[in-house]
Amino acid sequence: MAPDLPEKLLGIDIDPVEDQRRRSQSDSDESEAHVRVVLFGVGEHRLAVPVDDVISITDVPDDLTWVPRTPDAIDGVTDLRGEVTAVLDPTGYFPVAEDRTGREQLLVFDSSDDEQSAALRVDDVLTVEAVPESNVLESVDDADDPLSGEALEHPLVTALVERTRQTRRSPDAVPSTATVSGAIDGSELADEVAEDVQVVEFVPLVDIDGMLAASSHRVSSR
């Protein structure tokens, strides 16, 4: 299994206030086991994989080599720490409608001695997070968001990670000036009304073993 990688080794900055909030929350949940996941972006998608499946996170190398007659899911191969590593493109399994932007990185997966190394090319790595086991949902009730239930039907999604995050409410969503007493103009209204809000989201947890099997990632650079 992969080592328990601390966030600082993954190149992810941790906000001290946010880290303290997480520690306080973790202290209050000591009785419940937690699952650590890496959250990342692919196009418009937010996805997650277990930390135990990842041995490192690195920038996409310049020497990525395309290999003829490889499956469409293989972007190419590269040399990582002396090993020929197949680089997978997740958009074949999670199609995107938006342009891919961000700092592209590779999630390098743990592999046994008799398997070829593989890495997933992602737009950006968002965070490493510990979530309570009760927030890792392998099924959803009818009362839950229907989109969440549909996500579980994907053959490479094993569960949904329920998490709460802070976001800034868009000024476009505020009422018109006519409905707010004392407002002078739109910019003042936006400053007055815009606020941080909590958003509950369900992030698909990707089956890495299934993706590697589906991609037939055993390829050679020769």
The model's pLDDT over 163-179, given as tens digits with 9 standing for 90+, comes to: 887 776 665 554 433 33
Beta strands 157-168 and 117-122: pairing type? unpaired
In a domain? residue 127: yes
Would the pLDDT of 99 be above 80? no
**What tens digit of pLDDT does each residue of 122-172 get?**
999 999 999 999 999 998 765 456 566 788 899 999 999 998 877 766 655
pTM: 0.71
The conformation of residue 69, written as its DSSP 8-state character, comes to T
Please report, to the nearest 10 degrees, the dihedral formed by the alpha carbons of residues 112, 118, 120, 126 taken in order: 40
Residue 120 structural domain: 7-215
Query: Among residues 38, 152, 178, 41, which one has the least CA distance to residue 96?
Result: 41
In a domain? residue 117: yes
In a domain? residue 2: no
Position 25 scores a pLDDT of 55
Cα 125 from Cα 12, distance rounded (Å) = 8
**How does the average pLDDT of the chain come out, rounded?**
75
Beta strands 105-109 and 117-122: pairing type? antiparallel
Question: What is the distance of C-alpha 154 from the center of its chain?
Answer: 16
In a domain? residue 177: yes
In a domain? residue 169: yes
Cα 143 from Cα 180, distance rounded (Å) = 35
Three-state SS for 167?
Answer: strand
In a domain? residue 43: yes
| 107: β partners | 57, 120
Q: Which residue has the tokens 């001290």?
A: 16
**If you count DSSP H runs as helices and E runs as strands, how many of each does the chain have, helices first?**
4, 11
Q: Report the CATH number that the domain containing residue 46 is assigned in CATH.
A: 2.40.50.180
Q: Which residue has the tokens 């299934």?
A: 210
- Mean pLDDT lowest among 67-76, 110-119, 173-182, 183-192: 173-182
Three-state SS for 143?
Answer: coil
Number of folded domains that form the chain: 1
Beta strands 124-132 and 105-109: pairing type? unpaired
In a domain? residue 221: no
| 84: β partners | 79
% of the chain surpassing 90 pLDDT: 36
In a domain? residue 148: yes
| 47: β partners | 40
